[in-house]
């Protein structure tokens, strides 16, 4: 009878140790995940870039469009740059995307409290008629996406 009781005590101690280790691992993973997500998302939530105006005009040569947008970076937002410009129909269908030919004046980055004008060509074979509503979408280096609805001139 004593041998059965001592085995049961050992099993109970081992189970308590396993439960304590599992709880410690779960708490560690939760805390490291929480701290990690707060740390990585802080810069993206601080960027408050706004598009104050945009125009889309048919390109003079080769088809496609010329997109021009004015952006404003509020004083309480960090400096940022635009890495991607897109033109979409208002239903979300992409017309074109341009990462390489974006020109920004004044030169990037866009400082807090500063406005900048950027333009990029949008080469596409099909042309939508004037007055078609479109969205100009810009993506910053922090991954923040801002959009502005306008129509083709």
CATH at 105: 2.60.40.10
pLDDT in tens, 119-151: 988 876 567 788 889 999 998 888 888 999 999
Domain check: are 64 and 135 in the same one?
yes
Domain check: are 69 and 130 in the same one?
yes
Q: What is the pLDDT of residue 100?
A: 80
Q: Where in the sequence is the domain holding 14, given as residue range(s)?
A: 1-45
User: Mean pLDDT of all residues in the chain?
Assistant: 83
DSSP result, 57-97: EE-SSSSSEEEEEEEEE-TTS--B-EEEEEEEETTS-EEEE
Domain check: are 27 and 55 in the same one?
no
Domain check: are 55 and 86 in the same one?
yes
Q: CB neighbours of 127 closer than 8 A, spacing ≥ 6?
A: 58, 63, 64
Q: What is the pLDDT of residue 42?
A: 43
Residue 89 reports pLDDT greater than 90: no
Q: How many independent structural domains does the chain possess?
A: 2
* 5 confidence band (pLDDT: 50, 70, 90): low
Tell me the pairing of strands 133-140 and 103-105: unpaired
Answer whether 123's CB lies under 8 Å from 58's CB. Answer: no
Q: What is the pLDDT of residue 2?
A: 54
Cα separation, 127 vs 87, in Å, equals 13
């Amino acid at each position: 009878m004593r041998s059965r009781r001592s085995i049961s005590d050992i099993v109970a101690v081992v189970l308590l140790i396993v439960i304590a280790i599992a709880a410690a691992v779960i708490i560690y993973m939760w805390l490291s995940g929480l701290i990690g997500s707060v740390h990585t998302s802080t810069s993206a939530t601080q960027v408050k870039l706004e598009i104050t105006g945009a125009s889309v005009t048919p390109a003079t040569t080769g088809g496609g469009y010329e997109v021009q947008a004015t952006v404003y970076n509020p004083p309480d937002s960090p400096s940022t740059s635009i890495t991607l410009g897109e033109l979409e129909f208002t239903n979300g269908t992409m017309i074109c995307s341009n990462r390489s030919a974006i020109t920004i004046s004044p030169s990037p980055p866009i400082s807090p409290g500063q406005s900048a004008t950027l333009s990029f060509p949008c080469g596409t074979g099909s042309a939508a008629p004037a007055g078609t509503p479109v969205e100009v979408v810009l993506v910053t280096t922090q991954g923040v996406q801002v959009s502005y609805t306008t129509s083709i001139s």
